[in-house]
Structure 1
């Protein structure tokens, strides 16, 4: 896996802890992330700084837990922009989050393929 997008040490710990449930964890993260992106877009369209902050915070946490540091960092930037109500920056940050998530999704799907029987 690409260490710039995914933290291999976190991945190794998750694999050890989750064992046979690791593929389910990957699937759940990908599904949840799609919903989180939808919520980011919805809050951004509504110019709802509070909802945007909460959605970014939640996404940041799951990205951190799954070992996606660049994605978590972008979510942190979005969370901070929303906290300061600097909504002029949010569309570009969401775009960057989507681009990084597209890379992470490919890497996790490739990882998931290793567990197919």
Structure 2
């Protein structure tokens, strides 16, 4: 269970940086920054089983790769909303693990 806690802790620590990098890429109109951050967040989300979030990141990643970043703001808002749900679920799960 310690490994699970470490993986989740890493996700919770690093994911806000990845989301901030997506936002920065959007602000700077830089598809490569968006692509890299979305790719990293997709992989991390998959690792913790957050498949809806991973799918959202995959869509953003593909759009950024194609240079289609006009909808990034809307996509990012949906990603942030789903991310909050994932964080709540993971924190609840970790708390349950701590009770054992």
Q: What's the TM-score once normalised by structure 1's chain length?
A: 0.79
Runs of 4+ in 1 over 4 A off after TM superposition: none
Q: 2:61 matched to 1:74? A: no
* Residue equivalent to 2:3: 21
> Within 5 A, what are the aligned runs for 1:77-96?
77-96=59-78
Using the alignment, how far apart are the partners of 1:102 and 1:41 within structure 2?
A: 16
Using the alignment, how far apart are the partners of 2:88 and 2:25 within structure 1?
A: 26
Using the alignment, how far apart are the partners of 2:44 and 2:98 within structure 1?
A: 24
Q: What's the TM-score once normalised by structure 2's chain length?
A: 0.92
Q: 2:1 matched to 1:32? A: no
Unaligned runs of 5+ in 2: none
Unaligned runs of 5+ in 1: 1-18
Tell me the CA shift for residue 20 of structure 1: 2.2
Aligned residues between the structures:
99
For the aligned residue pairs, the C-alpha RMSD in angstroms reads: 1.2
